[in-house]
């Protein structure tokens, strides 16, 4: 569900509200979401600490706690973090409640319960494989045109699978990959290594532009996604291809095609993307 723009929006909408707050108590309603260390240790390591900083890396959210511990949350498909003012009713799919010193709550909500939570010292974050191996993010200084050229060079797989792989580019997911390829005019099944220099430039620009717009629109709400205050995003109104199967391409009017690429539902314009 949430990709980089959504997770970044959650971070922004939550930061002001939780920074400096102390976690007084936790209700872990669904213990199996805690992946490290044990549920008991997790509770001990978080309770009584204040939240000093809220960071994001790719699709991970990192809560820096007052004693150097870091709580790492990944929302996977349907995870949400909501700031819940004192007395407000809890979402029915609330799985973990962080009770703050103000009486307000931070809720971890997750319909499909695929999300993950870890807590560990900063120095041990390498326990989380997906964090350790993550490639540079769009809009970051490391995500250069040369870098993109380098990871495409000689690659036999299709471009869609490559862009979905967090080891190459961190933060892209199924929606934004389709949107990036549409903007760059590249067919999702093109062999990555066969993409021309000219197209790689377009793709590099497209990735940065799509992610930037996604963030500026507060993310894409198709069904489940909400920001830290429970509000929907707006980027769903600006999508070029995702979710628009059989609707006319905004550029040429040809019907958008939906197929399966890299095992995922994939949308593209058969005329504009070659």
Q: Which residues are catalytic?
A: 2-3, 59, 264
Residue 24 engages DNA in binding (rule: CB under 7 A)? no
Cβ atoms within 10 Å of 133's Cβ, excluding its own: 13
Applying CB under 7 A, which of residues 185, 230, 265, 270 lies at the interface with DNA? 265
Our measurement of the distance from residue 171's CA atom to the centroid of its chain's CA atoms, rounded to an integer in Å, reads: 6
Cβ-count burial 177-194 (b if 16+ within 10 Å, e if not): bbbbbbbbbbbbbbebee
Residue 223 engages DNA in binding (rule: CB under 7 A)? yes
Cβ atoms within 10 Å of 144's Cβ, excluding its own: 12
Q: Which is nearer to DNA, 49 or 74 (CB)?
A: 74
Cα distance between residue 272 and residue 188, in whole Å? 12
User: Does the N-terminal peptide bond of residue 37 adopt cis geometry, omega within 30 degrees of 0?
Assistant: yes
Residue 125 engages DNA in binding (rule: CB under 7 A)? no
Q: Which is nearer to DNA, 50 or 113 (CB)?
A: 113
Site string for DNA, 183-212 (x = CB under 7 A): ------------------------------
Contact, 118 vs 136, CB < 8 A? no
Choices 42-50, 71-79, 82-90, 98-106; region in contact with DNA by CB under 7 A: 71-79
**Binding to DNA, residues 150-179 (CB under 7 A):** 155-157, 161-162, 164, 166, 173-175
Residue 2 engages DNA in binding (rule: CB under 7 A)? yes
Q: For residue 143, report the phi and psi dihedrals to the nearest 5 degrees.
A: -85, 75
Using CB under 7 A, list all residues that contact DNA: 1-3, 6, 32, 58-59, 74, 76-77, 93, 111-114, 129-130, 155-157, 161-162, 164, 166, 173-175, 219-225, 262-265
């Amino acid at each position: 569900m949430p990709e980089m723009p959504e997770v970044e929006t959650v971070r922004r909408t939550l930061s002001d509200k939780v920074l400096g707050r102390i976690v007084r108590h936790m209700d872990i309603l669904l213990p199996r979401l805690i992946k490290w260390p044990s549920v008991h240790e997790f509770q001990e390591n978080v309770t009584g600490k204040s939240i000093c900083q809220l960071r994001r890396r790719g699709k991970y959210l990192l809560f820096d706690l007052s004693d150097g511990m870091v709580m790492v949350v990944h929302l996977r498909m349907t995870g949400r973090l909501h700031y819940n003012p004192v007395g407000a009713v809890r979402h029915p799919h609330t799985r973990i409640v962080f009770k703050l010193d103000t009486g307000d709550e931070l809720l971890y909500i997750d319909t499909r319960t695929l999300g993950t939570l870890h807590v560990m010292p900063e120095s041990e974050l390498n326990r989380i494989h997906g964090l350790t191996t993550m490639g540079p993010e769009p809009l970051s200084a490391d995500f250069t045109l040369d870098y993109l050229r380098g990871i495409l060079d000689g690659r036999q797989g299709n471009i869609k699978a490559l862009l979905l792989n967090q080891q190459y580019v961190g933060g892209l997911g199924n929606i934004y990959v389709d949107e990036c390829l549409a903007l760059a005019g590249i067919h999702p099944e093109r062999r990555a290594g066969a993409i021309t220099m000219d197209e790689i430039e377009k793709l590099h620009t497209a990735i940065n532009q799509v992610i930037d717009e996604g963030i500026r629109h507060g993310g894409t709400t198709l069904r489940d996604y909400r920001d830290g205050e429970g509000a929907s995003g707006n980027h769903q109104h600006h999508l070029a291809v995702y979710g628009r199967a059989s609707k006319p391409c905004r550029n040429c009017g040809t019907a958008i095609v939906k197929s399966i690429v890299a095992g995922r539902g994939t949308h593209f314009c058969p005329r504009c993307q070659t």
